Amino acid sequence: MEPSDGPDEARAEVRAAYDAIAQDYAATYPGTEPEARLDLAMVEDFADRVLEGGGARVLDAGCGTGRMARFLADRGCSVVGVDISPGMLAMARRHHPDLEVHEASLTDLPFADASFDGVLLWYSVIHLPDEDLARALAEVARVVRPGGHVLVASQKGDGPVDVGARLRERGHDVVLTRYHRGPRDLMSALAAVGLERRARMIREAVGREQEGQVVVLARRA
């Protein structure tokens, strides 16, 4: 399979790849097994800020199997999840039937303006090239209320990486590109849509990770 060039074809490849790995992903990572303590501390701080601000409604944008939505819901947030992959959503509905999830693209969120107190982008923008990243963050800025918080995580680096090759080694015949970004790239993209940085976490790879990680917390003015 060869990677395609257009945005529609690229999104179709991401959808197909995650549909193919959905069951394996859900079985391997039923909860927060991949996260380091620092990662979870950032998510917990995000949830605390949302709740302390008098709100509770959080969008898990790119919710996958629902494992991070579960983490937030268990801390008192009212979570709605969206994902582009029907296969991943099927796993979310199977393992977390109490959670509300919908099929949708990050670049076209089916929600009204200012309808969430917080938005989580937990490794969900990593398959978006720069143009689609800008569109997705503009959508996030639209649906989060003034004063609301946004948490975004990504592998640290510079440029595209063929992660489909790793998946093919595990028996999944898929094409999948991941875009690594540094903290300045993420912060600039957030600032461009009116999301102001409040905190950031940068760490090196641990365990089986091959890349360092970056997490940025931002707030809509």
CA 95 to chain centre: 19
- Residue 186 placed within a domain: yes
Contact yes or no for 130/154 (Cβ under 8 A): no
Domain that holds residue 161: 7-220
Residue 2 pLDDT grade (very low, low, confident, very high; cuts 50, 70, 90): very low
Q: Is residue 35 part of a domain?
A: yes
Whole-angstrom Cα distance, residue 53 to residue 198? Answer: 14
Whole-prediction pTM value? Answer: 0.94
Q: What is the pLDDT of residues 21-60, one digit of tens each?
A: 999 999 999 999 999 999 999 999 999 999 998 889 999 9
pLDDT in tens, 79-133: 999 999 999 999 999 999 999 999 999 999 999 999 999 999 999 999 999 999 9
Q: Which pLDDT score is estimated for 199?
A: 97
In whole angstroms, what is the distance from residue 203 CA to residue 155 CA?
10
Query: In the structure encoding, which two tokens stand for residue 195, read together?
Result: 């999301």
Give the span between the Cα atoms of 47 and 153, in whole angstroms: 15
In a 13 Å sphere around the CA of 214, the CA atoms on its Cβ side amount to 17
Residue 183 belongs to domain with CATH number: 3.40.50.150
27 found inside a domain: yes
Residue-wise pLDDT tens digits, 182-210: 999 999 999 999 999 999 999 999 988 88
Q: How confident is the model at residue 6 (pLDDT cuts 50, 70, 90)?
A: low
- 77 pLDDT above the threshold of 70: yes
Confidence of residue 3 (pLDDT cuts 50, 70, 90): very low
Looking at the domain assignment, is residue 2 inside a domain? no
Which tokens go with 127? 């398959």
3-state helix, strand, coil in the chain (%, to 5): 40, 30, 35
How many independent structural domains does the chain possess?
1
Cα within 13 Å of Cα(195), Cβ side = 29
The per-residue pLDDT for 53 is 87
Residue 1 in domain:
no
